Amino acid sequence: MIRSEKVNSVLFICYANICRSTTAEAVFRQKAQQAGLKLKVSSAGTHASNKGNPPDSRSVDAGRQRRYDFTDIASRRVTKEDFEEYDLILVMDSNNFNSLLAKCPFEQLHKIEYFLSFAKLGRRVRDIPDPYYAGVTAFEKVLDLIEQSSDGLIHYLKENRMTPNLSDN
């Protein structure tokens, strides 16, 4: 799955960086910290035209009901430097995956993975659906998938000793 020896930083990617990837940033950042992992966590969009805007209020509302903190999270577009800076770049769907493949330098392609591949769903689903044009229940479903994927990723990183612990200062 992950083709790096160590993971010190994780970047979550969706289309506009206002729903799924910002939610993944908030959820994973908190879960990783609770698990004792010291990681740089951020998010970006392949076509983020809302640069500097906060996450979608429906994502924030769903996340806050489960006690996730969206402080200091703002929309931005993925940059060329992100491919060098982040050890693991996790996409929300196949459109994001294909967009990144077109932008990513060849030597960094190994960093791109589907975030949902870390969830234990028992089926070969790759895409976390975009809830933007759907109702409130879609945001809850996305949050469920992100929580499962976050838990799976943390388990994977810890099991394979791929990340520093907070005590490694």
Q: Which residues are known catalytic residues?
A: 14, 20, 130
H or E element at residue 53: none
Closest CA to 167 of 53, 32, 37, 19: 37
Are 158 and 31 a contacting pair, CB within 8 Å?
A: no
Paired residues of 41 in beta bridges: 10
Amino acid letter for position 52 = G
State the Cα–Cα distance between residues 114 and 107, nearest whole angstrom: 18
Tokens of 131: 């809830």
Q: Which has the closest alpha carbon to 20: 150, 131, 111, 94?
A: 131
Torsions phi, psi for 91 (to 5 deg): -100, 155
Instruction: Give the H/E segment covering residue 95.
Output: helix 94-103
Task: Give the separation between CA 120 and CA 114, rounded to whole angstroms.
Answer: 13
